[in-house]
Structure 1
């Protein structure tokens, strides 16, 4: 089975953390640099994952402040 692309893995992990309660609404996600290190990936797939999570309503990205779990993430 082919490996899941890094950006999809990040999306899956963030959604699972929100659903399990490990990440609460308003919680700050790790920085792009920290996620690069955690996933051993460049910033490009990290930014893509964050953009998709933002578009789907799971997180809110605040320029210069970071990414946070949305106050009311999807069920």
Structure 2
């Protein structure tokens, strides 16, 4: 089975953390650089993952402030 692309791994991990309660609404996520280091990746797949999560309502991205778990993430 081929490995998932990095951006899908990031999405899956963040969604799982929110669902498990490890990440709570309002919690700040690591920076793009921190995620890139954690996943041994460049910035682009991390940016893509955060953009998708923002579009789906899981997180809110605030330019210059960071990314945060949405106040009411999807069930």
TM-score (norm 2): 1.00
How far does the alpha carbon of each residue in 1:18-50 deviate from its partner, in whole angstroms, 9 at most, with x for none? 000000000000000100100000000000000
Write out the 4+ residue segments of structure 1 that deviate beyond 2 Å after TM superposition. Answer: none
What is the match of residue 38 of structure 2?
A: 38
**Residue of structure 2 in register with 1:56 after alignment:** 56
Aligned to 2:72: 72
Paired residue secondary structure (1:68): strand
- Note if 1:24 corresponds to 2:20: no
Taking structure 1 as the reference length, what is the TM-score of the superposition? 1.00
Match of 1:13 in 2: 13
How far apart are the structure 2 equivalents of 1:66 and 1:39? 18
Please report how far the alpha carbon of residue 68 of structure 1 lies from its aligned counterpart in structure 2 after TM superposition: 0.1
Query: What 5-or-longer segments of structure 1 have no aligned partner?
Result: none
